[in-house]
């Protein structure tokens, strides 16, 4: 169900109607419309959604949070990798090592010349 992000676009029900008509009437509106804004003196006080919709929204928010954390972790790893790579690129050791043919049995140690 795709709900509007704008409270003004949602169906409104005064709290006095909820009290007078009862909870079942409000839940019929929620089932029909997806969400209902309960107002008090014409000011939004609450948005009522079904339990299923609430679970979906919470899961969606958690997924977005996890995606943000993954993106931040990847960004940090990229920064660390770039720092290590710049050390290799800036020093003469990498160019010198790549210019020579590879030989078996030689250990390459970062930071030491061949």
pLDDT tens digits, residue range 2-17?
666 688 889 999 999 9
- pLDDT tens digit sequence for 40-96: 999 999 999 999 999 988 888 888 778 888 888 888 989 888 887 777 777 666 667
More confident residue, 33 or 3: 33
**At what angle are helices 92-99 and 51-90 packed, to 10 degrees?**
80
How far is 52 from 30, CA to CA, in rounded Å? 12
- Asked if residues 38 and 18 have their Cβ atoms less than 8 Å apart, the reply is yes
Token pair, residue 84, equals 């290590």
Place of tokens 């006095």: 16
- Asked if residues 42 and 61 have their Cβ atoms less than 8 Å apart, the reply is no
What's the confidence (pLDDT) of residue 92? 67
pLDDT above 90 covers a percentage of the chain that reads 37
């Amino acid at each position: 169900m795709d709900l509007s992000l704008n409270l003004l676009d949602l169906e409104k029900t005064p709290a006095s109607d909820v009290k007078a008509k009862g909870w079942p009437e409000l839940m019929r509106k929620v089932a029909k419309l997806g969400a209902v804004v309960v107002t008090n003196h014409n000011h939004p006080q609450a948005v009522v959604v079904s339990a299923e919709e609430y679970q979906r929204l919470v899961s969606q928010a958690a997924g977005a949070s996890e995606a943000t954390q993954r993106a931040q972790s990847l960004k940090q790893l990229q920064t660390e990798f770039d720092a290590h790579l710049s050390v290799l690129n800036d020093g003469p050791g990498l160019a010198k090592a790549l210019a020579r043919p590879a030989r078996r049995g030689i250990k390459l140690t970062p930071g030491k010349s061949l």
